[in-house]
Amino acid sequence: MAQPKDRRRVVVTGQGVVSSVGVGVDAFWSALKKGECGIGKFTLFPLEELYIHIGGEVKDFDARELGMTKQFLLADRYSQFAGVTAREAFEQSGLETPLQGEKGYRAACIIGTGVGGITTMEASYKGLFEDKKRATHPLTLLKTIGSSAAAHVSIEYGITGPCFGVVSACSTAPHSIGLVYRMIREGLCDLGIGGAAEASLNWGTTRAWQAMRVLSPDGLFPFSKGRNGTVLGEGAGVLVLEEYEHAKERGATIIAELKGYGMTSDAADMVNPSIEGASSAMQIALDDAELAPGDIDYINAHGTATTINDINETNAIKRVFGKAANDLSISSTKSMHGHCLGAGGGVEAVATLKAMEENIVPPTIGFDETDPECDLDYTPNEARKRDVTYAMSNSFAFGGLNAVLVFGPPPA
């Protein structure tokens, strides 16, 4: 793919995460390296009429105790997750916030979600139809809409440039990050925050998912022969991106360079993924990064632990990487934090960056026996030391919506 001569380089200067294995990057990464599992029995809602009782809940999350401002205290849980991650990412970036004047207009805030404030909506309907209340809370609408998290963050940090939420199921976060990347690369903005947040663990959502017969009652075991479905999780993951010269001029600490981004649609089926769509997204991301397959050291896989998804992702990797696929380290951190739906690729982008920073590949836990159709190196059960110079993060969503990010080291 031909690249424009005036293409600007884009770097990562901040990251933030909320997950079932830890709130904050340090706690999150420490848990992943140890192979700790955040999946457990639901505590947020009653379990009547459910046969799925487990998920990746963010434990003991209290926005007030975390010192969130009033606008977040009045927001839905998913927007609160976004607020916590944004604060961490901006603090790490060292940017002076709130942004003022022209700086605000040269910044973007693209924070998406798969389903927005669905728990607020469920509580509202319960109040109206079961408890016979005469009205809903006056902030119900603002709490539920899928652009609320982006709006809250833009207000908090003075971002007056492009601001909206992306919705693309389980590819939402990398699509959001990729949009900020393209805006900066092509000169529309100098910096921005991108990612996604999800807080959809409630009774109704679990009923809907279990009706599809894709959830495991036991755990999430990607690429393992004994896998029997995915496990829902919640959380948020965001990155602060900047144009390289902008970051260098202000003396920012650069975490990594975002070198490539690929997105495709299967245009085939709402549930069953295609090898073509996933492999094309990976190839486009590699071409965008101007890298060869053999340059990639680590892939944070989509790895949902459903039978067809894991086989298809394995075959898609083989199609793109050829013989180099056997030299890759691959893992699905969903095995530890659960499938965070729209936020998944944001959470996993943070895991990918930490793997590069510390040259440690996080494990795929719960790996009991090799599936002959999933025969690559999935880093079973224990983290592994390895030099990780270039890394890829895959997200392949319902509807055949694919998004892939490629990261490299900070520019020399």
DSSP of 123-154: HHHIIIIIS--SS--TTHHHHHSTTHHHHHHH
CB 351 within 8 A of CB 300: yes
If one counts the domains in the chain, the total is: 1
Question: Does residue 411 belong to any structural domain of this protein?
Answer: no
pLDDT of residue 3: 55
How far is residue 9's CA from residue 279's CA, in Å, rounded to a whole number?
25
Q: How many CB atoms lie within 10 A of CB 270?
A: 9
Question: Does residue 217 belong to any structural domain of this protein?
Answer: yes
pLDDT of residue 1: 46
Fill in the amino acid letter for 10: V
CA 340 to chain centre: 7
Active-site residue, 339 included: yes
pLDDT of residue 165: 98
**What are 45-74's pLDDT values in tens digits?**
999 999 999 999 999 999 999 999 999 999
Q: How many CB atoms lie within 10 A of CB 53?
A: 11
Dihedral angle computed from the Cα positions of residues 147, 149, 151 and 155, in that order, rounded to the nearest 10 degrees: 180
Question: Does residue 4 belong to any structural domain of this protein?
Answer: no
Read off the tokens for 327. 């030299």
CATH number of the domain that residue 297 is part of: 3.40.47.10
Question: Does residue 409 belong to any structural domain of this protein?
Answer: no
Name the catalytic one among 189, 302, 340, 374. 302
Q: Where are the beta strands (DSSP E) in 61-114?
A: 107-112
Q: Rounded mean pLDDT of the chain?
A: 97
**What are 298-322's pLDDT values in tens digits?**
999 999 999 999 999 999 999 999 9
Work out the pLDDT band at 4, boundaries 50, 70, 90.
Answer: low
Read off the tokens for 143. 């709490």
Give residue for tokens 């603090």: 91
CB 235 within 8 A of CB 24: no
Name the catalytic one among 37, 163, 170, 189. 170
Give 48: exposed, middle or buried? Use CB within 10 Å, 0-12, 13-18, 19+. Answer: exposed
Work out the pLDDT band at 387, boundaries 50, 70, 90.
Answer: very high
pLDDT of residue 5: 61
pLDDT of residue 344: 98
CB 299 within 8 A of CB 223: no
Read off the tokens for 73. 């205290």
How far is residue 159's CA from residue 264's CA, in Å, rounded to a whole number?
29
Name the catalytic one among 175, 246, 337, 339. 339
pLDDT of residue 116: 98
Q: Is 322 helix (H, G, I), strand (E, B) or coil?
A: helix
Question: Does residue 412 belong to any structural domain of this protein?
Answer: no
Mean pLDDT value across residues 250-277: 96
Give residue for tokens 């401002």: 69
Work out the pLDDT band at 374, boundaries 50, 70, 90.
Answer: very high
- What is the extent of the structural domain holding 120? 10-399
**What are 8-34's pLDDT values in tens digits?**
999 999 999 999 999 999 999 999 999
Read off the tokens for 351. 């895991």
Question: Does residue 406 belong to any structural domain of this protein?
Answer: no
Question: Does residue 292 belong to any structural domain of this protein?
Answer: yes
Question: Does residue 250 belong to any structural domain of this protein?
Answer: yes
CB 25 within 8 A of CB 14: no
The CA–CA distances, whole Å, from 343 to 29, 53, 78, 281 equal 16, 21, 10, 19
Read off the tokens for 30. 């420490």
CA 303 to chain centre: 13
**What are 100-155's pLDDT values in tens digits?**
999 999 999 999 999 999 999 999 999 999 999 999 999 999 999 999 999 999 99
